Structure 1
């Protein structure tokens, strides 16, 4: 095992250099004079730059030569190029133009946003959106953001913050206020707003974790020829629009609208928010609600023939993530149908349902009938194809050595995918989609090679809870874990690091993850636990957890750990624990319920006290639902409910802790307020338990800034070395 700080830092530096693919798209196929065709594949990647302590985004391009529907040869086109200042970009449907949203800080330190139009040879135009002052900042996040070309390539659609009224103090000097009024009066024709006195500190409600300052999004349309920007009117005031696409023939805009009544609940990682599909015409005179609004919706995608819109639709489960229907809106007859239904209890080795957070921007085959989706299937991420006419689901990946697959793009039936495994970093592959009924015969060709890391093995373990731990309402449920084992020093059994995921309705899939692979290279075995309640195992598994947190999830993790220990491949006296968010909640329960079993615990932004969390989180409904109660925003929880919440909280049994605890908190966390971790820290300090607290003032719930993430890893690794030294000494 490696235990020195320089050795640990060296391992982290080595593996943090592997980039992650963000997106990709395929250019149109061009015919060659002497037969055959070729096209260009454009891809964007992110990479950690430890020296600059920031994420670096860069692009790679490839050329694919093909003959009919087979790939003849692929090669890179030029070198990687860093993308500086790009917030969003999108190629036009024909591929001849590209729109770029760019951020820039001027000499005065003011942030500016520009919308640029590029041709294949030069920049055609650049519009200073900030100077135009038509709206606030443009949204570039995954939740709301979009940058969509019209089918005619004459307009660009995007989403921005609604322009806020100017404000003035009650005590602003009369001269200054008169100047503001004079400016208002002279610009009435430009629809300037008169400053509002006393509203400088008015509270603007936002959409929570990672979506701060996202308050009132508006749909914006840029006319490329004139440079004019139009703010779409006619959208109901009780919804926030996002994920917008152009309607057929550019007659309107189809978008998702999220209700923000009675207030805005956190949206990040919460795909269950009340929402509906809408269509507004370009005049703003009519805004039609397409879906019922009973269930959540997201990711509308228009078919190539512009006759259907496919989208994801939730069910009646109130958890923040779940299994989803795949729904189809027929634009001809204005009818909605369900293509793929929610799977409650999957058959053994069968299709487990759709759990995607979003669909790829281009996910339709050229026949406008089949849709390609990447989704968790138990502990793997599979690539499936759905026939929208029949509802038949087929896996495109059979007997693959790669663990998980992600669709980046499909154009003219040429697919670009990313694939990786726990011991193999991401790489891109391309392949033509065969005709219907022959989908499993895809010949995948690698655009770049990624070799598996030597001396790291992995496998998926399946568990059936013992009879006494089975859920009586949902019997027969299984769960899984992913085990990474260092392949060297076979004569020495490695320590075991246990990591339950957060959520709790998220999942670990067998893909490339920096923390587990770096720990494995340091000499640790790593167990990633997908306890009952994880996504990818059917809706019944998700339904089984609410009301049973702190019990069912904790017992599943402990059962998985003890099962691995019985195999004798790891050191049973050196078991360590990592957990963040709900994983931290589980971890705190584990060190309380099994005192001394875990030799060290490292936790990021843990849930400690469900009662105090209720009033400080951006998702109070999550607390109530997972604890087994209904959430009523207009009612206070009763004393009996508060008692039940407290009884499920690990803070109540902290006196039993015998494990050294490292706590890492993000000051800007709106999901799990850092006071949760402070409660744990103070409770342990009061009992003279070994504890260390790290406070990151510029980070939020995920602690994912490059500098933060590196510091977190180093401190976890050294904390484990410290704990194992104590164990060895004893």
Structure 2
């Protein structure tokens, strides 16, 4: 209630009786860093790890999770995000990137991804991790990249075409752009024309930017999550990547969910994926985990 006579607010009832202890909450810091030979700057939110029950040694830097939003022309915001807080309360720093092409920063910024999907977005996540490493805010030996759908494609491309990250997490991501353009409907195919180029006239770009054709350049562990009912990014996208990595002896985890489509919805699925992801990072970086985290099965 707002009192006109004195300009004060009065709380009548709290929508949520639950009070979250601020000692476990990481607050985002809006940052910008240079890319494209310092010709442009990228927007992102940096979340340091926060947990009042644990204080890291002064000489220890936290592992970093670089998060890539989907779309690819959507955006991330500095709102309360439980997934981000899940990681920051467990000792991970998070960089939530609004790479070139993201909305909310003007038309010029949005159009910077035109023709450059798979190049500009990938460079922006790589440069973000490098920027924080050089500032001494994160451990450059424990850099992780994580994304879903279009963000999952950026994850795979970053691991295929750069040697910066030590692990990747891919939720229903794209490994083969040519297969995507052949399977998608006509409206979405016009979207890809703008992001990459018209197909088949620009077929070579689709091949060059597809991680499936650069599996032999990926040398770090990846965990894949895939809904078997996904019609947008069908399971064969993940399966081909997994099989290619397995053939080379790269540690890989592949978890599928029968009743999930594009974007997981069921609470149990969300619980399983977060626990598996945490277990994956623990196995890759030799991090001690609490009881109850299921063991990870690498192929």
Both structures adopt the same fold (TM-score exceeding 0.5): yes
SS of equivalent to 1:75: coil
SS of equivalent to 2:72: coil
| Other-structure match for 2:291 | none
Distance 2:184 2:275 in 1: 28
| Other-structure match for 1:186 | none
Distance 1:546 1:563 in 2: 24
The correspondence for 1:699, drawn from 256, 260, 264, is: 260
| Other-structure match for 1:159 | none
Distance 1:613 1:462 in 2: 32
Identify if the C-alpha distance between structure 1 residues 700 and 716 changes in structure 2 by more than 3 Å, giving closer, same or farther.
Answer: same
Distance 1:657 1:709 in 2: 27
1:603 aligns to 2:170 (yes or no): yes
TM-score by length of 2: 0.85
Identify if the C-alpha distance between structure 1 residues 450 and 459 changes in structure 2 by more than 3 Å, giving closer, same or farther.
Answer: farther
| Other-structure match for 2:211 | 650
| Other-structure match for 2:46 | 483
Asked if structure 1 preserves the Cα contact closer than 8 Å seen for 2:149 and 2:173, the reply is yes
1:593-650 Cα offsets, whole Å, 9 max, x none, are: 223x322211001111111111323433333321133xxxxxxx43x43232112212
1:515 aligns to 2:83 (yes or no): yes
| Other-structure match for 1:73 | 10
Quote how far apart the aligned CAs of 1:709 are: 0.9
1:36-62 Cα offsets, whole Å, 9 max, x none, are: xxxxxxxxxxxxxxxxxxxxxxxxxxx
Distance 2:206 2:161 in 1: 17
Higher helix share: 2
Distance 2:5 2:260 in 1: 50
Distance 1:449 1:697 in 2: 34
1:259-283 Cα offsets, whole Å, 9 max, x none, are: xxxxxxxxxxxxxxxxxxxxxxxxx
1:91-126 Cα offsets, whole Å, 9 max, x none, are: xxxxxxxxxxxxxxxxxxxxxxxxxxxxxxxxxxxx
SS of equivalent to 1:523: coil
The correspondence for 2:99, drawn from 515, 521, 531, is: 531
1:285-335 Cα offsets, whole Å, 9 max, x none, are: xxxxxxxxxxxxxxxxxxxxxxxxxxxxxxxxxxxxxxxxxxxxxxxxxxx
Asked if structure 2 preserves the Cα contact closer than 8 Å seen for 1:608 and 1:677, the reply is yes
Distance 2:235 2:76 in 1: 25
Identify if the C-alpha distance between structure 1 residues 448 and 682 changes in structure 2 by more than 3 Å, giving closer, same or farther.
Answer: same
Distance 2:148 2:6 in 1: 46
Identify if the C-alpha distance between structure 1 residues 693 and 68 changes in structure 2 by more than 3 Å, giving closer, same or farther.
Answer: same
Quote how far apart the aligned CAs of 1:448 are: 7.2
More relative contact order, 1 or 2 (CA 8 Å, 6+ apart): 2
Identify if the C-alpha distance between structure 1 residues 654 and 69 changes in structure 2 by more than 3 Å, giving closer, same or farther.
Answer: farther
Higher strand share: 1
1:339-394 Cα offsets, whole Å, 9 max, x none, are: xxxxxxxxxxxxxxxxxxxxxxxxxxxxxxxxxxxxxxxxxxxxxxxxxxxxxxxx
The correspondence for 1:641, drawn from 191, 202, 225, is: 202
Identify if the C-alpha distance between structure 1 residues 713 and 71 changes in structure 2 by more than 3 Å, giving closer, same or farther.
Answer: same
* Larger Rg over CA atoms: 1
1:708 aligns to 2:269 (yes or no): yes
Distance 1:71 1:578 in 2: 44
Asked if structure 1 preserves the Cα contact closer than 8 Å seen for 2:157 and 2:209, the reply is no
Identify if the C-alpha distance between structure 1 residues 65 and 538 changes in structure 2 by more than 3 Å, giving closer, same or farther.
Answer: closer
Distance 1:691 1:514 in 2: 26
Asked if structure 1 preserves the Cα contact closer than 8 Å seen for 2:168 and 2:222, the reply is yes
Quote how far apart the aligned CAs of 1:478 are: 2.5
SS of equivalent to 2:61: coil
| Other-structure match for 1:464 | 34
| Other-structure match for 1:622 | 191
Distance 2:177 2:257 in 1: 23
TM-score by length of 1: 0.36
Distance 2:83 2:189 in 1: 30
Asked if structure 2 preserves the Cα contact closer than 8 Å seen for 1:617 and 1:673, the reply is no
Stretches of structure 1 that go unaligned for 5 or more consecutive residues are: 1-63, 77-426, 429-446, 471-476, 630-636
Asked if structure 2 preserves the Cα contact closer than 8 Å seen for 1:457 and 1:486, the reply is no
SS of equivalent to 2:279: helix
| Other-structure match for 2:68 | 500
| Other-structure match for 2:157 | 589
Distance 1:69 1:668 in 2: 57
Distance 2:10 2:83 in 1: 35
Q: Aligned pair count?
A: 279
> RMSD in angstroms over aligned alpha carbons?
2.4
Distance 2:267 2:62 in 1: 28
Asked if structure 1 preserves the Cα contact closer than 8 Å seen for 2:150 and 2:173, the reply is yes
Does 447-456 or 642-651 show the bigger shift?
447-456
1:218-256 Cα offsets, whole Å, 9 max, x none, are: xxxxxxxxxxxxxxxxxxxxxxxxxxxxxxxxxxxxxxx
Distance 1:620 1:528 in 2: 28
Distance 2:81 2:124 in 1: 22
SS of equivalent to 2:47: strand
1:201-220 Cα offsets, whole Å, 9 max, x none, are: xxxxxxxxxxxxxxxxxxxx
Distance 1:460 1:543 in 2: 22
Distance 1:454 1:573 in 2: 27
Distance 2:114 2:210 in 1: 14
Distance 2:9 2:128 in 1: 47
SS of equivalent to 2:22: coil
